[in-house]
Structure 1
Amino acid sequence: MKCLVTGGAGYIGSHTVISLLDAGHEVVVLDNLSTGHRAAIPAGVRFLHLDLSNAEAITEVVAGEHWDAVLHFAGVSLVGDSMRRPFHYLRDNYITALNLIESCATHGIERFVFSSTAALFGRDNQSGLITDNASIQPGSPYGESKFLIERALHWADCIYGMRSACLRYFNAAGADPQGRLGEDHTPETHLIPLAIDTLLGRRPVLQLFGNDYATRDGTCVRDYIHVTDLADAHIRAIDRLDGGSVAYNLGSGTGFTNLEVVRSIERVGGQKLHWEWAARRPGDPSVLVADSERIRRETGWNPHYRSIDSIVETALRWREAHPHGYGK
C-alpha cells in the first residue's frame, strides 16, 4: 500500500510509520513539526513539511497522488492543557482534521484511519471495562474535539462512502523494541517517561496527581498499551475497512494504578525513585480500562506486550540511550 501519514513525526505516528515500512508498505509523512521530531522520520521516507490548517496545500497533496489509505495522527493532545485552553483544542484539532477529511472524501480516498482517544469516555466509569459502544461523555475539550472528528468521519462515510476506522486508544507507552524510536514530548506529561527520568536523576522529583480517587490505592487507574502494539492495530484496521467503517477501543484490558506503575519502574530500574503527592489534574477520570474484544475478534489483533514491566523495560532502554531525546 501507499499511505499518507499525518503527524508521522510524533510518538505514535512515527512508530506506525516504522511498522508500515517493516511490513513492506510505502509511506509519505506530513507533519508541521510543532510537536514531532524530524529525526523520528526514517531515512528515505518522503517528508512533507506542511500544516493541516492550509486547506489548499492539503488538497494538492491528497489529489496529486494515489493513496491506498490516509492515517491521521496530527493534533494537540494534552487533557490538562485543553482545560486551560479549550477553544484552542477545539479549533486546532477539529478544523485541521476537517480540512483533511474534506479533501480525502471529495478526492476518492477510500480508507481513513483516525487516531482517536479514550478521552471520549472521560467521566468516571467504575462499572468495568469500557466497550466500543459505551456512552460517549468527553470530560475535556480534548476529548470533545476527537468526538467532533469522529462525527465528521461518520458523515464522510454516509455521503461520500469514505470508510474510516476510529481507534480509541488508552495509554500509549513504551518504545520501539529495536531501539529505533521512543517517546520524546515537550513538555512531557506522561507518567512513565516522567518517572523514568526521575529514576535516572534527570528531574528531582516525580509528582503523582491525586491520592483520593475511589481506586484500590487512591490513585488513578489506566490501561497501558505498548506503542508497537498500537501501530500493529492501525495496519490491521486498514484491511478491516474493506468491510465498512468501525470504531475500536485499544488497550490491554488490564488497569494499573499510578502507584503500581511507579513500583514497576523501580523493579525494572533496580532502584527507588523520589516521588511526592500533588493535587488532582482537572479532567482526569479515576478509571479508564478498555474492552478490546471486538478488534481482537475482527482483525486477529493481540497485544504482544501484556505486562507493565515489559512496556516499562522498552521505555527505560530508549531513555537511557537518549538522554536528550531526539536532540542528540
Structure 2
Amino acid sequence: MTTESQSAAKVPVLVTGGAGYIGSHAVLALKDAGWDVSVIDNLSTGFEFAIPDGVTLYRGDIADKELLLRIIAERKIGAIMHFAGSIVVPESVEKPLAYYENNTVKSRALLEAAVEGGVSHFIFSSTAATYGMPDVARVTEETPTRPINPYGWSKLMTEQMLADTAAAHDLNYCVLRYFNVAGADPQARTGQSTAGATHLIKVACEAALGQRDHVSVYGTDYATADGTGVRDYIHVSDLAAAHLLALEELIARPDASLTMNCGYGRGFSVLEVLDAVDRVTNRTIERRMEPRRAGDSGELVSDPSRIRETLPWKPQYDELDTIISHALQWERRLSEIRGA
C-alpha cells in the first residue's frame, strides 16, 4: 500500500454492468465518495432503478465500440470498472459458447476501446471460479488456476487478455477474484434484483419471506463437515469498498497492476447458511436435498492476506447474520418496488 493512494486524484469512471447487482453497489460507493461516475448497461439483467439520481446511464452493449469511444471522449473517462457479464455456473456448462461470447469476446472489445480511448486504469470483476477445485484449504493468488466450468475459464481468459494488454499499452489494472458475494446496501438503495437468481442467500431469503416454498441443497456428499458445499461469503458493500481502494492504488501507482482475492477467509456450509437465515427470521425454511450440480466445487475459501496487506481495506459487514439481515431488508424493499 502506498501513502499516495490515500490522496489519489479522482478521475471520471465508467462502470460496465452498473445496473446489475455488484455494479450498482460500486456505483453507489463511487458516488458517495465524490467520484464522477457513468454507467453502460444493456439492462439484460440489470435494472434502471438501481442507478442513483445524478449518474448518467448509457443503455448499450460493451461490444459497441463506437458507443464506448463516444462515452470515453464525452465523459473524459480515466478508469473503467468492468462488471458486465454472465455469472451462473450451471448455465455456463449448458451454454458455454454464450459465456465465452458475453464474458470473453465482449471484454476483448471493451479493452480495445479502452486502449484506443486512452483509458489509464481498469478494474476487472473476476471470480474464485478461476481456481476450480483447489488442493489447499485456503486459496491464495498463487494457487494454480484450473477452472472446472466455462464461467471460470471465460473469466480467466479475460484476465490473461488484460495482463497482455497492460504489458503492451499505457494501462494498469486490478483483477479482483470474488468469492461468494451476498447481502445488499445497508440503506436498501440497491441489492440483488434478478428474478430466478441462484445465489444461496438470496434464494434462502426469498424462501423465508414466502416467495419460494423450499430451498434446494445441491450435493450432500462433499468432503466437508456436514457434506454440503462450503463457501466464503463477502458482503457486497465491503466488496464495493475494495474496488474504490483498488482504483486509488492504481492511480497512485500507474506502473503497477494487481491481482487479489476478495473474501473474508472463512467459510460457511450451505446448511450453516440456512440455519443462520432461520435464526435471523425466527422461522424454518424447508430444505430439499438434491444431487450435485455440474461445475460446483466442494469447498472454496479465500486467503485474503494480499488485499489486506496491499489496501487499507477494513470490512464493515463481515458477520453472516449482518449479511443475511441486509439481504432480507432488500427483499422486502424489492417487493415494494415491484408492487408499486
Q: Check whether TM > 0.5.
A: yes
Counterpart of 1:119 in structure 2 is 129
Q: Go from structure 1 to structure 2 and tell me whether the alpha carbon gap of 1:326 and 1:76 turns closer, same or farther (over 3 Å shift).
A: farther
- 2:311 aligns with 299
Aligned partner of residue 322 in structure 1, secondary structure:
helix
Encode CA deviations 1:152-195: one digit per residue, 9 max, x unaligned: 11111110021000000100000100111111113210111111
Greater alpha carbon shift after TM alignment, 290-299 vs 216-225: 290-299
1:247 Cα deviation from its structure 2 partner: 0.4
Residue of structure 1 equivalent to 2:58? 48
2:195 paired with 1:183: no
Between the aligned partners of 1:65 and 1:23, the Cα distance in structure 2 is 18
> Of 45, 65, 80, which aligns to 1:35?
45
Q: Which runs of 5+ in 2 are unaligned?
A: 1-9
Q: Pick closer, same or farther for the CA change 1:34–1:233 going to 2, 3 Å.
A: same
- Is the 8 Å Cα contact of residues 71 and 77 (structure 2) preserved in structure 1? no
Note the C-alpha offset of 1:324: 6.3
Give yes or no for contact 1:113–1:238 (8 Å, CA) kept in 2: yes
The whole-number CA distance in structure 1 between the counterparts of 2:339 and 2:127 is: 28
Q: Please show how residues 152-167 of structure 1 align to structure 2 within 5 Å.
A: 152-167=161-176
- Preserved contact between residue 184 and residue 326 of structure 1 (Cα < 8 Å): no
Residue 139 of structure 1 corresponds to which residue in structure 2? 148
Q: How does 1:162-311 map to 2 (within 5 A)?
A: 162-241=171-250, 242-243=252-253, 244-311=256-323
Deviation string 1:228-277 (CA, Å, 9 cap, x unpaired) is 00000000001111331110000010100000000000000111111110
Residue deviations 1:292-328 (CA, integer Å, cap 9, x gap): 1111111111211222111101111111232266574
TM-score normalized with structure 1 length: 0.97
Q: Distance in 1 between matches of 2:70 and 2:211?
A: 44
1:99 and 2:148 aligned: no
The number of residue pairs the alignment matches comes to 327
* Residues 324, 208 of structure 1: alpha-carbon distance in 2 compared, 3 angstrom cutoff: farther
Alignment of 1:19-34 (within 5 A): 19-34=29-44
CA distance in structure 2 between the partners assigned to 1:327 and 1:92 by the alignment:
31
Q: CA deviation at 1:284?
A: 0.3
TM-fit CA distance, 1:69: 1.2
C-alpha separation between the residues in 2 aligned to 1:77 and 1:4? 20
Cα distance in 2 for partners of 1:56, 1:323 equals 38
Give the conservation status (yes or no) of the 8 Å contact 2:193–2:334.
no
Which letter maps to 1:43?
Answer: D
2:94 maps to which residue? 84
Gap regions ≥5 residues in structure 1: none
Describe the superposition over 1:6-42 as per-residue Cα deviations: whole angstroms up to 9, x where unpaired.
Answer: 1000000000100111101111010000000000001
| Rounded Cα–Cα distance in structure 1 between residues aligned with 2:147 and 2:315 | 26
